[in-house]
Structure 1
Amino acid sequence: MSHDDGLCSIGELAERAGVTVKAVRFYSDNGLLPEASRSAGGHRRYGTDALGRLRLLRSLRALGLPVREVRRVLDEEDTATDGAGSVLENAVAGQLRELGSQLTALRWREAGMRLVLECPPGERADRLRLIGAVAAPPSTAPLARFWRAWLPPRMPARATAAFLDAAVPQPPDEPDPAQVLAFARLNAFVTRPCTGSERPQPEAHRNAGARGSAVLYAGLAQAYELAGTPLRRGCDPCPGEELDSFVDAYASAYGSRDTPAFRRQLAGQLATDPRIDRYWELVADVITTPGGPPEPTPGSAHDWLFAALHEQTAAPAG
Structure 2
Amino acid sequence: MSESTLPTTRVHKSEAPGGRREIDAVPLRRPGRWAASAVLVFLLVFLVQGWAANERMQWATVGEHLFAPVVLEGLATTLWLTAAAMAIGVVGGVLLAVLRRSDNPLLSRLSWAYIWAFRGTPLLVQLLFWYFLAAIVPNIGLGVPWGPTFVEFETNQLITQTSAALLGLGLHEAAYMAEIVRSGIASVDEGQTEAAGALGMTRRQTLRRIVLPQALRIIIPPTGNQVISMLKTTSLVSVIAVPELLTSIQAIYSRNFQQIPLLTVACAWYLLAVSVLSVGQFYLERRYGRGSSRDLPSTPLQRLRTALAARRPAPSENR
Q: TM-score, normalised by structure 1?
A: 0.23
Q: Which structure features the higher share of helix residues?
A: 2
Q: Which structure features the higher share of strand residues?
A: 2
Higher RCO (C-alpha 8 Å, min separation 6):
2
Q: TM-score, normalised by structure 2?
A: 0.23
When Rg is computed on C-alpha atoms for both structures, the one with the higher figure is 1
